[in-house]
Structure 1
């Protein structure tokens, strides 16, 4: 598929610049009210910023600057920290040294690229109207657009890969997979899976990919140190890690089906907006788009019953979603935030399927 000439027109650019400006207003308000006064304690709110990850990256960044880079420190915190060292040096040329401001500007630019790529994919799939507007219900982007983080970069990468896949530009997928490897190590695996699943017997290749990614995920969780202890949570993920350690790295292979159910449960627990007696802002921000997905539930069921193969016009979107699932199941932790990364792609799938059925 090719991009329509319409997206290169002045009218198209002006229209989406206006829409993007509307998107930026709540992001700026969110930043002013909850981020610019960083770490000011709010007794009524919980999880209104991803403080934990920000601190991990900030500490890693400072450690690299003071002690130098060590190959043994390779993990998912390293790449984003190195990128922000470059960003800090760049913005310091203009007298901007506050890390909160620097991360905000980077996130605003990334959000624009996310929106631009999303609308490009909509044009390729001939999706307009409500599909564009539903993007503005993804309020979790407000959360992702604050502090140092990898999530906006990750969403951008998923959309870039889908766009290139729809245009049959496979070499560029490989190129961007290598580039985004420095943001999240898993993204290289994701890109390779997308390319692998694009050829041959789809079902057979899914099975092979599941076995390989499960075993590799189990091994790296135990020996690879790709996820720092600071980034690891507790609970069922710790049990999976135990099985991997004691039983030949079989934890992911055996327990991934349960972990998929955990992901789904964690997502819909967002409708309970309280955590430890406080209002959980991250959960509230997920609810609008989750309501949209809930109203599309019958198309999710229809998809798994009718379209789970490469013999249909949804094949490229299916490949991206399956590749995401296989890749993120390599991670021993379960967090609803991870599922929100693929929501724009899932929304495109369901909207496309709905319009075809109707």
Structure 2
């Protein structure tokens, strides 16, 4: 059987041979009606199919190519890459300031809850993460990863070796200065590089004959603009803390910082900056003559006490700085974010108040409202 005939039979389209009857009841033979004419043959179901016509020599012509009833068409592969639309950024909103002066134990920032992926312009959500299809581009050989603007080094055209804390020594007469001369010396100080980017020096504020002295770390952005320590929300909370122990910023309290100029980006002051600025603080303590000092924050406590101990290990004890009792507690800016530690700060203030009364008793001074 030819190949094309077998394929026709496989699909149920092949010829069905039947016997023809000639005359009455005689057995017929398989034959065609005429040479070159297809003979019609009918199967039991009544379906007819035609064979190819015969040639003059009796052979059949080749059958036409097979055509199936249905052709499976495969969709062409997707060649266009669909660009994922960028997520629509929500409009920025100004954060409403927290009123820290209302209560010492309030105004805590609520914890943030995880949010769903942002919606794109067509209201679909962007996937949380997508697999990488290629390695990230490598920077060229001469690529220089510059630090943030606030941390750019102060260098000349010809770089020189960094100076050590002993390269520029503070004036030796700092311990002899009075208040006006000391304030003028701080305002014009150029002992370290912090002077290059400051707006104002932050000398100190309060009663210069106070019994209480509060010492913080360094000025922030608002303090640098106004030239006064502890302003803004942290300053309001500090005022509330002082009222809790019957004190006020301008009454029986003097507030100062370890560093008088704002470090770029509010970073921690470096050791050489602390070494060059510390004589000013020492002279302020000597002029105020406080009965008790409250160190606000880890950096202020470590700078005053010359230690690397944690603030948790320094709290709850009485330390000494220049012969004055020192109580360590948390910074007001930290308390704005930590509600449980406000109770610990209240305990520290009570310890400071107790230490102050003991200092008055030792001097034989009659105690007042504090």
TM-score, structure 1 as length reference: 0.23
TM-score, structure 2 as length reference: 0.22
Answer 1 or 2: which has greater strand percent. 2
Q: Which one has the largest radius of gyration? A: 2
